[in-house]
Structure 1
Amino acid sequence: MNKSTTIGIDLAKTVFFVVVLDQRGKQARRKKLRRSELLPFLANYPEAMIAMEACSGAHYWAREMESLGHVVELLPAQHIKGYLRGQKNDYNDAEAIAEAAQHGRIRTVAVKSVEQQLDQSLHRLRQALVAEQTRLVNRARALCAEHGLIMPEGKHRFRHSLVALLEDAENGLPWRLRELLGRQYQLFLGLEDELAWYEREIKKQAAENETCQRLMSIPGYGPIVSSAFYGWMGSGQQFRSGRDVAAALGLVPKQYSTGGRAVLGGISKRGDKHLRALLVHGARAVARYAKRHDDRLSRWVCNLIERRGYNKAVVALANKLARIGWAVVTKEQAYAAIPV
């Protein structure tokens, strides 16, 4: 590989802008390519380091470029703006990407395999269905409230209360609203069936994946959390330690320090908010039943709840679970709770 050459590519759907930097960071070449011209251009180019933003389609192009013998780095798009010089245009964007790669301070995004992308697609579609089901429940509750009928919160109680509401002929519910709510109920059942299919598929994929099986040995990690964690992190080699994993997921305090005075606030909430929420939910499940167990992790959680309160202890536990997950993936060993 020609280590002195860095190629920055500004990705798009049909037109790509390429900027080549030499070892000194000077622009050696720039070119505008159509989609069909990109891979032939790189196939005839000496092996080099190619940098792109980790955006839509980036993992596909990264796999194709790696097959040509190039080294590919995917960089988080939000960190590229600081390297932009002059006004924003496609060539300046490509040059900023190349400069960021040469600088080497930005943590790269691991190139995902096809299987990892497919697993991640399952989670994204399931997440969209959950959000749509929540919106449907809120709409139905709001319609009922307009007519003086208050329904309890929660999807499970919503289902039973709506059935009772529709079956009660003497509650004064207008027939047109009754018809509308009936259709909403049928849509709710359809979403439940669709969600059940996605959850079965996620559990099936997790059962066939050795890494997910090792992750499920960690308290708080079920099939959904394990599959989402593995799909996000991959091999974990892009992180130096479990602390970096927790920081990338936004499970560490937000820092604002100046003049030697350190100020720490709430968690930074950076990175994948869906995976962060799953880890917090898993930590909440562990914390809820920690008093029933006597392993080292449970004792640590109980002690932290007494000192700092339940909510802070849950977030701290989610941080620890993210670190443990990284260790399990990178060391290829299952988690074993340390006995008394």
Structure 2
Amino acid sequence: MDHFAGLDISVKETSVCIVDDTGGIVREVKVASEPGALLEVLTNPTYHFKRIGLEAGPLSQWLFSALAEASLPVICVETRHMRAVLKAQINKTDRNDARGIAQMMRAGLYRPVHVKTLRSQKLRMLLTHRKLLQSKAIAIENDLRATLRNFGLKMGVVGTVKFEVRIKELVADLPDLAVLVEPLLIVRRVLREQIGILHRRLLAIVRDDEVCRRLMTIPGVGPVVALTYRVTVDVPARFRNSKAVGAVFGLTPPPKHQSGESDRTGGISRCGDEMMRMMLYEAAQIMLVRSAKWSWLKAWAMKIARHRGMKKAIVALARRLAVIMHRIWVDGTEFRWTREVAAA
């Protein structure tokens, strides 16, 4: 007899529900959210598991890896899809959620999520930490600009390097303000130093990565965009074709909504990885606005911009960049600047 299990994971404890192929509950238990505690329950030889489901979340990657290493048929389920199915339950409890997940596994009503490799998880941490420090440094700089403006002290246009010097020039004759400004300048200085350390580490990784170097042959795609794409896609073979990448990044229209006289199609879905989507926007904007060198891809996007506006052209170009980058990765090629070369 086949068995199916549902795991409702929280930070401290996990509710486990095991059902048989008829839907009958075989066992329910609550254990610590640790690999050892879960394996003690799930590796019982009396159970023949066909599918074990858990929801994507903060602990899911860690627990998924441990269960997969034990040769258990574990599946990580997409959060929004699982929430929509479980919402039909009247009472929401950890126990009921585990029951619902187990029944989803038995019926096959689930949408699996790719769990990234350990290397991609670590590189993703590098990218997120770099982005976090950048946002904090920018927040401090904006706050200093705004508060000094209240006293008639205008920063003007000044770069990152000369920012601190300019601040000290403005408050040089105002010692009471200088005392208040100094702590923020110290914190900003440390943040900028650490951002530099993380960025140099990022550049070293990209320099030694053959895939990233090929992705960077595309105009507008720099080291950060290339590494973000590398980490987000992780395993290119998980996509049935290159065109499927745009939907995963939320760059394709949502399903058409038609009911009676209502018939509408919205904008892009904005589902999936937000960081990757923003990186593709940035690369598309750089290609259209800053890049001086012409290519067939830029010509294609500019044609859209003339007919439908620059904003839609950037979204369309971002989606096509995602497709091209996947194709370059899979084929082991580089970006081709003309249609003739691409067709050769």
TM over 0.5: yes
Distance 1:283 1:241 in 2: 22
Q: Contact 1:290/1:299 (CA < 8 Å) preserved in 2? A: no
Kept in 1: contact 2:55–2:78 (CA 8 A): yes
Q: Specify the alignment match of 1:296 in structure 2.
A: 296
For 1:197-224, what per-residue CA distance to the aligned partner results, in whole angstroms no more than 9, with x for missing partners? 1111122222333333343333333221
Stretches of structure 1 that go unaligned for 5 or more consecutive residues are none
Task: Give the secondary structure class of the aligned counterpart of 2:126.
Answer: helix
Query: Which residue, 137, 155, 162 being the options, matches 1:151?
Result: 155
Given that 1:216 and 1:222 are in contact with CA atoms closer than 8 Å, whether structure 2 keeps it comes out as yes
Q: In 1, Cα distance between the equivalents of 2:254 and 2:174?
A: 52
Partners of 1:105 and 1:179 in 2: how far apart?
Answer: 61
Q: Which residue of 2 aligns with 1:268?
A: 269
Amino acid at match of 1:13: V
Matching of residues 29-40 of structure 1 within 5 Å: 29-34=27-32, 35=34, 36-40=36-40
Aligned counterparts of 2:52 and 2:209: Cα–Cα separation in 1: 31
The equivalent residue for 1:117 is 121
Aligned to 2:287: 286
| 1:7-26 superposed matches below 5 A | 7-26=5-24
Give the AA of the match of 2:70.
L
Residues 55-103 of structure 1: CA distance to partner in whole angstroms, max 9, x if unpaired? 1121121111111111221112232122222311112112233344445
CA contact (8 A) 2:81 2:111 kept: no
1:102–1:149 CA distance, 2 compared to 1 (3 A):
farther
**Relative to structure 2, which stretch is displaced further, 225-234 or 238-247?**
238-247
Q: Cα deviations across residues 272-299 of structure 1 (Å, max 9, x unaligned)? A: 2122111110111111256631x32122
SS in structure 1 of the partner of residue 162 of structure 2: helix
Classify 1:7/1:209 alpha carbon distance in 2 versus 1 (closer, same or farther; 3 Å): farther
Whole-angstrom CA distance in 2 between matches of 1:188 and 1:306: 42
Secondary structure, in 3 states, of the residue corresponding to 1:335? Answer: coil
SS of 1:270's partner is coil
With over 3 angstroms needed to count, the CA separation of the structure-2 counterparts of 1:14 and 1:140, relative to structure 1, is: same
Q: Is the Cα contact below 8 Å between 1:108 and 1:238 reproduced in 2?
A: no
Q: 1:73 to 1:259 in 2, by over 3 A?
A: same
Structure 2 equivalent of residue 336 of structure 1: 335
Superposed counterparts of 1:121-200, under 5 Å: 121-152=125-156, 157=159, 160=162, 162-168=164-170, 174-200=174-200
Structure 2 unaligned blocks of 5 or more: none
Give the Cα–Cα distance (whole angstroms) in 2 for the partners of residues 146 and 175 of structure 1: 16
> Once structures 1 and 2 are overlaid, which stretch shifts more, 108-117 or 233-242?
233-242
Larger CA deviation: 236-245 vs 219-228: 236-245
- With normalisation by structure 1, the TM-score equals 0.87
**CA pair 291-211 structure 1, distance change in 2 beyond 3 A:** closer
How far residue 262 of structure 1 moved from its aligned partner, in angstroms, is 4.0
Question: Is residue 8–residue 51 contact of structure 1 (8 Å, CA) maintained in 2?
Answer: yes
Q: How far apart are residue 158 of structure 1 and its match? A: 6.1
Q: Choose which of 89, 95, 99 in structure 2 pairs with 1:95.
A: 99
Aligned-residue CA RMSD (Å) = 2.6
After TM superposition, the structure 1 = structure 2 runs for residues 209-224 of structure 1, keeping only pairs within 5 Å, are 209-224=209-224
The Cα of 1:319 is off from its aligned counterpart by 0.9
- TM-score with structure 2 setting the length: 0.86
Paired residues of 1:221 and 1:282 also in contact (CA < 8 A)? yes
Contact 1:6 1:22 in 2 (8 A): yes
Contact 1:19 1:94 in 2 (8 A): yes
Counterpart of 1:236 in structure 2: which amino acid? P
Determine helix, strand or coil for the equivalent of 1:32: strand
Shift of 1:51: 1.2
- The total of aligned residue pairs comes to 332
Distance 2:99 2:38 in 1: 17
Cα deviation 1:161-220 (Å, max 9, x = unaligned): 5523422577xx631212222332232222111111111112222233333334333333
8 Å contact from structure 2 (residues 68, 74) kept in 1: yes
In the TM superposition, residue 27 of structure 1 has moved relative to its aligned partner by 3.2
